[in-house]
Structure formats: C-alpha cells, structure tokens
A and B are shown apart, each in its own frame.
Chain A
Amino acid sequence: MSVLVVADHRRGELRDVSYELVTAGRELADALDGELAVAVIAGDTDRFAESLNRPGVDRIYTVENGEEFDNTVYTAAVTELVGRSGATAVLAPNSVNGLDYAPAVAERLDIPLVTDAIDFAVDDGLTVTREMYGSKVETTVAVDGDQFCLTLRGGEFAPAEGVGEAEVESVTVDHPDSGARVKGFEEVGGGDVDIADADVLVSVGRGIEEEENLEVVEELAETLGATLSASRPIVDSGWLPKNRQVGQSGKVVTPDVYIAVGISGAVQHVAGMKGSDTIVAINTDPNAPIFDVADYGIVGDLFDVVPELVAQFE
C-alpha cells in the first residue's frame, strides 16, 4: 500500500506544489501504512531529486528525458513506476501539466481518478474532499477501489521541509514516439503596466456585464489613484489586455489593497490575489466565494456602490 507522488517542474524549476505533494503523500502513506516514493520525470532530475529529498520520502525515482514536459513520456513513466513501486495511490499535481497526463495514467491503469482534491481521509476506503459549482460548495466523494489516482490542488497542504534520507534510483522507461512535442515557450502579458507593482488594485470581473460599463471601474481606479486589473473573462473578451489578468494563468499580485468588483472568486482567480494585505469585495451574491478571502465585503450592486464610493472621494 505505497504512495507515488509525481513532482511538477517547469523550465528548470520545481513548482511549489511538488513540496506540498510530499506532505500530502506522506499523510496518505501513513494512513495506508506504506512507503512514499517520489517520481521526478525529465528536466534536471538529479538537482530536483536532491531538493525533494525531504523527511518522510522513502525513495525517489528519476527518469531522464530531456528538458521539456511530454505527456507521452509522463504517462509511460508514471505507469511504469506504479508497477515498480507497487503503489496503490498516485498523487499528481492539479496543474496544467498534471491535467495533461494524470487522466491518461488513471485510464491506462484502469483505476478511479479524482481531480482537484483539497483534502482526503482514509477509513474504510478513500474519501476525497473537493469543491463544486465554482467553489460555492464543498463535497466529499467516496472512491470504490484499492488503487486510485488523485490530483491535488496547490496551496492546500504545507510544503515539506528539511532534509530526508530517501534512496535515489534512476530508471529508464520505454515509451512510444511522442504525439505532442514542445517547440518553445512564449511569455505573454508584457506591455504598458505591471499590475504586480501596484499598491492599490481595482479589479473588475464579469459582473460588469458590458465593455461600455468599464468606465464605472475606470473612474474608481482613477479617483483612488489605483491601477485597474481584471479577472479572466474580461481579458478573454478582449476588453482589457492580458497583462491586466490576475490569477493562475495571469499575474500573482500582492498589493496593499485589492478591491474585487463583480468577481466571484474562482480558485484560479484567488490563486493570484489571496496574498494581498487587504481585500475588499463588492458582489451581489452573498454566497460568492470571494467573500471567504475578503477582509471587507459589501453585498450589493456594483452599479450602485461604485458611483457612491467615487462620490465619497470627490
């Protein structure tokens, strides 16, 4: 009953979730009374293995395979390492790359998959806690099966720290020719402003409804001497450029004050702004998850509240 955790790395760096996976993996291994193995696939495997050698890790498998991510290789390698380690639980990151191989691994091994786990418990079997309906509710999901694959949401477990005594083993994995090949990378979101530098952000979401209505928040930003940022749908619609997007696939911001106007607070948005000193939310929906991270909340219509707020400063 051992656990295999798959490290997440990109362009030469381990991503934070890798260390969180070690913590979660150790907890799961303890609950299953088994060992914890970590898989490091591609990239600078030796250096990554050294970094991931944290207390509680019993074994680290390294699979050399060039620099870049490759879902053909990851799927083959994880499947092979599950066999080799006898793992009954596979724990992968719920990252963009994790979601590019974990479902294929579960399918190949014919084992149940639960994605975006925020917690889990082992009693009679595995029960996973995860959100639904845009973070408005939490659920528990019981998994029927002795073997399973989970993807873990980042930021839910503390990163593992310290130096451990894991054995490192280099493994060669056979795989077919890659069906998806990385040709390069592109940084997006350069341009006129860096929202990460702003002390005060007025951030606008889909609650604004129409492009014309942006004036309402632009005026607030101007009045407060703040910078305007946005949630994803505003950028997807082309109403503001990509460099204004806050969140998982945009910028991570930590201003003194973040004012979220008509933003629901989806997990991918919150990932980019939860470190702000003071968070203010204005939203008509009292159940909007943004209120869970806010310090000050107004349940109200932005079209009423924002003009009143502007008036207060004029």
Chain B
Amino acid sequence: MKVLVTVKEVAEADDDFSIDGTDIAESDLEYDLNEWDDYAVEAAVQLAEADIADEVVAVTIGPERAEETIRMALAKGVDRAVRVWDDAFEGAFPDVASKIDVFEAVVASEEPDLVLGGVQAADTGFGATGVALAERIGFNHAAVVNDLEVDADAGLANVHRELEGGVEELTEVDLPAVLTVQTGLNEPRYASLRGIRQAQRKEIAPMDLDDLGLDTTDVESTLTLTAMYEPESESDAELIEGDAGEAADRLAEVLREKGVGV
C-alpha cells in the first residue's frame, strides 16, 4: 500500500515582530515543518517500518526555500517528495479549493491508498485541507486522529478521533482514506545522521501547475487577506516590572493577598 503525506512549511512569528502590509515582515518569520505534519510523517514512516506501506511519498506546496524542511521529512524515512510551486502562489492567500486542485492532481498520478496530513497548519490555522481533499478525490476521511491502526487486509483504518473534553471517538474508516493527524499520535523521531545523509540522495521532484495539467485560473483564490493587525488586548493585566527578583517579590505579594502559599 502507498501512503501520501501532505506537509507544509509554516512560518512562526518572532517574539518581537512587525506587520508589513497584510503579513508579518519577512525578517520576523522563522520557517519550520508544521508541527502537526511532523506527526503525520512519523505515522507514515511507522507504517513503512511495519511493512504495511511499501512506499511513502510526501507532497508540499511551497517555494524553493521549503526544500530544506522537506529534506528533513526525507531524512526521517519518507522515500521521496513532490514539491509544487508556481508564480501564481507567490504572495497569494490560497483558498482551500486551490490547494485541493494541486493535491488532486498529485493523487491522480501517485494513486495512494492512504493520505495523511496534519489537523491544521500552525500559521493559518485553517484545518480544512485534508477533509476537503477527501471529498474531492472520493476517499473516506476522519479528522483529528490521535490513534491509528491500519488493517490493510481488511481495508480498514481503526482510529480514535480526539473530541473536546477528554473524550475519544473510536471510529472505523474504510480505505482508501484521508486522515488528519493530531499531535500526540506518536513520538516524532529526530532525523539520524545516517538519515540526513541518505536524504541528500532522495528525489524532491519540482513541479509547477503546467506539469500537473493545471493553469492559474484553477488556483485563483476566492479569499483575499485584507488586513492584519495586533489584536487589541481586552485585559487590564498588571504587568509586573523589574528584574526577576523584584518581579517575584511583587508576585509573591499578590499571591499572598489571594491566600496562596500562606
């Protein structure tokens, strides 16, 4: 069975950041593999190690910069990767449907039995790509999976969906399926030195829209980011000033007033 993992390189804002137009200034952003996708990668690699998956392919939509991040997924045991980018994505705020256009084309050529991705991307926090993709490609799906057991012979994935308030739903999903992976599903590994060396020789196939049989009208977004700003703080928090000792002194006073530690 073949597993496709959708991964995204996400941006995280530095502690001190400024906003430039409708995004955080490029110099105040750090890039990394999306935390949720790291768990999806680990799940896929574990399926390969258990001889349930014969091949694990990662796909990302991202500029050349993202290769470094994708290379880390390869170093952790993903067999090869596809990186899709096009000028049309530069500076755009893609909607769910345009990402799905890309992934649908990749699914058509890779023909996976199982697609894994993170619950959400940490930067935009949309949480919709996996489920929308399942609908488009006619796969079954389950969102927010924090336990996974694949029974390839029965054509099933037995999953737990993590609901609110410490309740898990035990669900049986028919394959082929798309599952969105929650943090805590497993313990993502660190890439070994050997893995990092091997990853240098693995393929990251660059593709643009044309290669996928798409054009820019396919990925025109229905969404436009019109403003970004720091939220107005609703709190009237007392910010305790001073060095650590002074701050601790004042906080101790506050806590004692509340009857704590007395």
Chain A interface mostly: mixed
Q: Does B82 contact A (CB under 8 A)?
A: no
- B228: Cβ under 8 A from any A Cβ: yes
Of the four ranges (under 10, 10 to 19, 20 to 34, 35 or more), the interface on chain B belongs to 35 or more
- Are A127 and B168 closer than 8 Å at their CB atoms? no
Q: Are B228 and A96 in contact (CB under 8 A)?
A: no
CA distance A143 to B131 in the complex (A): 20
Please indicate the chain B residues that have their CB under 8 angstroms from the CB of A203 in the complex. none
Chain B residue numbers with a CB within 8 Å of A284 are 15
Q: Out of A96, A142, A182, A188, name the residue touching B143 (CB < 8 Å).
A: A96
- How many A-B residue pairs have C-beta atoms within 8 angstroms? Tell me: 274
Q: CB-CB < 8 A to B229: which residues of A? A: 137-139
Evaluate contact between B160 and A186: CB separation under 8 angstroms.
Answer: yes
Dominant SS at the B interface?
Answer: mixed
A299 interfacial by beta-carbon distance below 8 Å: yes
Give the segment of B189-197, B202-210, B233-241 that binds chain A.
B233-241
**Do B223 and A97 touch (CB < 8 A)?**
no
Say whether B258 faces chain A, with CB atoms less than 8 Å apart.
yes
CB-contact partner of B226 in A11, A127, A181, under 8 A = A127
Which residues does chain B contribute within 8 Å of A96, judged by CB atoms? 143-144, 161-164
Interface flag for B252 (CB, 8 Å): yes
A46 at the interface (CB under 8 A from B): no
Closest A residue to B222 by beta carbon equals A112
- Residues in A whose Cβ lies below 8 Å from that of B149: none
Q: Which residues of A contact B213 (CB under 8 A)?
A: none
Chain A min CB distance to B12 (Å):
7
Please judge, given known A-B contacts A103-B132, A298-B240, whether A238 and B187 are in contact too, CB under 8 Å.
yes
Q: A131-B125, A188-B166, A296-B238 are in contact. Are A287 and B230 (CB under 8 A)?
A: yes
Q: Which of A189-203 contact B (CB under 8 A)?
A: 189, 200
Q: Inside 8 A of B100's CB, which chain A residues have their CB?
A: 107
- A107 contacts B96, CB within 8 Å? yes
Contact B244 A100 (CB under 8 A): no
Q: Which residues of B contact A235 (CB under 8 A)?
A: 184
Contact A180 B140 (CB under 8 A): yes
Q: Which residues of A contact B258 (CB under 8 A)?
A: 256-257, 278
Taking CB as reference atom, which chain A residue is nearest B126? A115
Residues from chain A with Cβ under 8 Å of B168 in the complex: 185-188
- Top 4 closest pairs, chain A to chain B, by CB: A179-B140, A308-B248, A312-B252, A304-B244
Extra 5 A-B pairs, beta carbons < 8 Å, given A137-B19, A297-B240: A107-B135, A116-B126, A131-B231, A142-B224, A224-B255
Can you show 13 pairs from A to B with CB atoms below 8 A apart? A71-B131, A96-B161, A100-B144, A106-B96, A132-B123, A184-B169, A186-B168, A224-B260, A233-B183, A237-B187, A249-B164, A292-B235, A298-B247
